[in-house]
């Protein structure tokens, strides 16, 4: 377990905030002095980093023996060719419960006193953390209650129940669910298990960093998806102590990127809104504990677009034969977006694979569109029997799959003997799209629109 700070009687700023106590006010003179501000910020970062050490991570690793799997690391030929050096995928999507969350949850609950265990634990999550807490508590013989949003995917709700938790559906968004869980903890005395903002959780997630160094000792860059920051903070603590030369890069979705403005401000900043398909990293504010570590040890935090996320998920499925959720695919999205900016060998952490089938369907469709695998055509034909059949034969020869067909006969721009046909086609990629459109033009068809 993580050892307490030397002055255990003095509450930290994060613990004061969590308990509702007012934070200590800064000295007005120090606020006015830029040098004093810099010194205070440096001291705060050093204190946060010291809150979790590599020894804590090693202790966590022993605690997780026989509980968490040492997940495999797979090479990616396609990504290696793009980056120009070896790229390995750390497959934490194959971890028990389908994500890395079991590591931190188990270490946190294992560190509770007998009296705390007797009161049980409570958590709030829409998926991965819920399952991690449920299984960890069950393995340790601790009662668990997990609050989940009312719209949480049914497979994730069912899995959380199957792991032994009592599930309560409450609220429309995670923030509402979180408040309900904290109220429950206050009323019942159950211990609230935070998904990322606790030293034990950070130490547990850091065991992934030790595994990476053992499996790929020659690694030069580690790429990690970032939500609240617990995973990347833990990895940074473990790796930077043993291999300070390794570059650690965090990745956030553009619509939920709380770390860049927070790092610029020198303190956690709350985003006004968050929007991304990657619900596993859809967090509006960095955790206090991870923030200090990230600011001190992580080399860079960059952002990726929704198109890049969906393309990355598609690549993992098609090329690596791995089912990965959008948040877990965020490191791959960063590699696809700027492959030349990474020094290899590179390890990309696939942090989870708990993706709802309906979300996967939509994401894969989006990824295929982003990859140029769909073609929309609008053509004009002579309105006579057999004209459409002839067009479809031409598309068959071109090896294009027709997904949808629509006839338009009432457009005033059309001649009396004309009909406009809209086609939605599945193709093999951008070059094939161009070939299909060119073939139709060569066959004498009037292509009004091709995109």
The residue annotated as part of the active site, out of 51, 80, 310, 351, is 351
Q: Which residue has the tokens 């080399």?
A: 299
Neighbours of 53 (CB within 10 A): 18
Lowest-confidence region among 153-157, 219-223, 257-261, 263-267: 153-157
Asked if 52 contacts 296 with a C-beta cutoff of 8 angstroms, the reply is no
**Token pair of 412 as six digits:** 């005033």
Distance CA 314, CA 312 (A): 5
- Taking phi over 0 as left and psi of -120 to 50 as alpha, with beta for the rest, 19 belongs to alpha
Residue 380: how many CB atoms within 10 A of its CB?
18
- Percentage of residues of the chain with pLDDT beyond 70: 86
DSSP 319: T
Tokens of 36: 């004093």
Is pLDDT above 80 for 199? yes
Residue 282 designated active-site: no
Confidence grade of residue 176 (pLDDT, cut at 50, 70, 90): confident
Q: Could you report the per-residue pLDDT of 288-315, keeping only the tens digit for each?
A: 999 999 999 999 999 999 999 989 998 9
pLDDT on residue 415? 62
Pick from 7-11, 110-114, 381-385: least confident? 7-11
Tell me if 290 sits within 8 A of 228, measured CB to CB.
Answer: yes
Catalytic-labelled residue, pool 101, 156, 240, 282: 101
Instruction: Express each pLDDT in 361-386 by its tens digit.
Output: 887 777 777 777 888 888 878 778 88
**Cβ atoms of 252 and 303 closer than 8 Å:** yes
Residue 14 among the catalytic residues:
no
Encoding tokens for residue 389? Answer: 């059949």
Q: Which two tokens stand for residue 351?
A: 């942090």
CA angle 340, 343, 348 (to 5 degrees): 90
For the cut 50, the answer to whether the pLDDT of residue 166 exceeds it is: yes
pLDDT at 448 over 80: no
- The CA dihedral of 216, 220, 225, 227, to the nearest 10 degrees, is 110
> How far is 69 from 281, CA to CA, in rounded Å?
22
Hunting for tokens 């501000």 — which residue is that? 37
Model confidence at 159: pLDDT above 60:
yes
More confident residue, 115 or 4: 115
- Assign 414 a pLDDT band (cuts: 50, 70, 90): low
In the predicted structure, residue 46 carries a pLDDT above the cut 60: no
- Read off the tokens for 175: 């923030």
Q: Which residue has the higher pLDDT, 380 or 142?
A: 142
Q: Strand 446-450 and strand 374-382: pairing?
A: antiparallel
Which of residues 3 and 367 earns the better pLDDT score? 367
Question: To the nearest whole number, what is the mean pLDDT of the chain?
Answer: 86
Q: How confident is the model at residue 175 (pLDDT cuts 50, 70, 90)?
A: confident
Residues 276-285 pLDDT 10s: 988 889 988 9
Please tell me the predicted confidence (pLDDT) of residue 244.
97
178-200 burial code (b ≥16 CB/10 A, e <16): bebbbebbeeeebbbbbbbbbbb
Q: What pLDDT is recorded for position 436? A: 86
DSSP code per residue over 51-106: TS-HHHHHHHHHHTTTTS----EEE-HHHHHHHTS-EEEEEGGGSGGGBTHHHHHH
Name the least confident of 94-98, 281-285, 370-374, 388-392.
370-374
Q: How far apart are CA 71 and CA 161, in angstroms?
A: 24
What residues form DSSP beta bridges with 253?
A: 304
Whether the predicted pLDDT of 162 surpasses 90:
yes
């Amino acid at each position: 377990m993580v050892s307490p700070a030397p002055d255990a009687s003095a509450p930290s700023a994060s613990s004061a905030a969590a308990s509702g106590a007012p934070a200590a006010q800064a000295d007005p003179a120090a606020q006015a002095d830029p040098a004093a501000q810099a010194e205070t910020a440096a001291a705060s970062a050093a204190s946060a980093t010291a809150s979790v050490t590599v020894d804590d991570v090693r202790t966590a690793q022993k605690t997780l023996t026989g509980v968490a799997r040492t997940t495999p690391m797979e090479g990616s030929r396609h990504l290696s060719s793009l980056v120009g050096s070896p790229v390995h995928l750390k497959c934490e999507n194959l971890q028990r419960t389908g994500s890395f969350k079991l590591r931190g949850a188990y270490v946190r609950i294992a560190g509770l006193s007998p009296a705390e265990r007797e009161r049980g634990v409570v958590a709030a999550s829409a998926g991965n953390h819920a399952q991690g807490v449920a299984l960890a508590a069950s393995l340790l013989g601790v009662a668990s209650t997990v609050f989940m949003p009312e719209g949480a995917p049914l497979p994730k709700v069912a899995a959380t129940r199957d792991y032994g938790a009592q599930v309560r559906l409450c609220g429309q968004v995670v923030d509402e669910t979180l408040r309900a869980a904290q109220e429950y903890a206050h009323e019942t005395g159950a211990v609230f298990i935070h998904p990322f903002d606790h030293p034990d959780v950070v130490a547990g997630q850091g065991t992934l960093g030790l595994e990476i160094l053992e499996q790929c000792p020659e690694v030069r860059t580690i790429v990690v998806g970032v939500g609240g920051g617990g995973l990347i903070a833990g990895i940074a603590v473990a790796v930077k102590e043993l291999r300070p030369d390794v570059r650690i890069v965090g990745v956030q979705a553009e619509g939920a990127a709380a770390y860049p403005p927070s790092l610029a401000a020198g303190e956690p900043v709350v985003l006004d809104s968050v929007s991304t398909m990657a619900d596993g990293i859809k967090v509006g504010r960095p955790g206090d504990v991870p923030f200090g570590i990230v600011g001190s040890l992580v080399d860079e935090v960059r952002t990726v677009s929704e198109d890049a996320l969906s393309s990355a998920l598609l690549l993992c499925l098609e090329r690596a034969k791995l089912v990965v959720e959008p948040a877990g695919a965020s490191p791959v999205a960063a590699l696809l977006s700027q492959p030349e900016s990474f020094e290899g060998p590179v390890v990309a952490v696939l942090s989870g694979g708990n993706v709802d089938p309906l979300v996967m369907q939509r994401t894969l469709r989006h990824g295929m569109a982003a990859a140029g695998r769909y073609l929309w055509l609008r053509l004009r034909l002579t309105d006579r029997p057999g004209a459409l059949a002839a067009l479809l034969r031409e598309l068959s020869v071109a090896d294009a799959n027709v997904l949808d067909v629509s006839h338009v006969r009432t457009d005033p721009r059309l001649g009396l003997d004309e009909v406009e046909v809209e086609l939605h086609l599945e193709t093999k990629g951008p070059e094939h799209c161009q070939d299909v459109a060119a073939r139709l033009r060569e066959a004498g068809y009037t292509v009004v629109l091709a995109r």
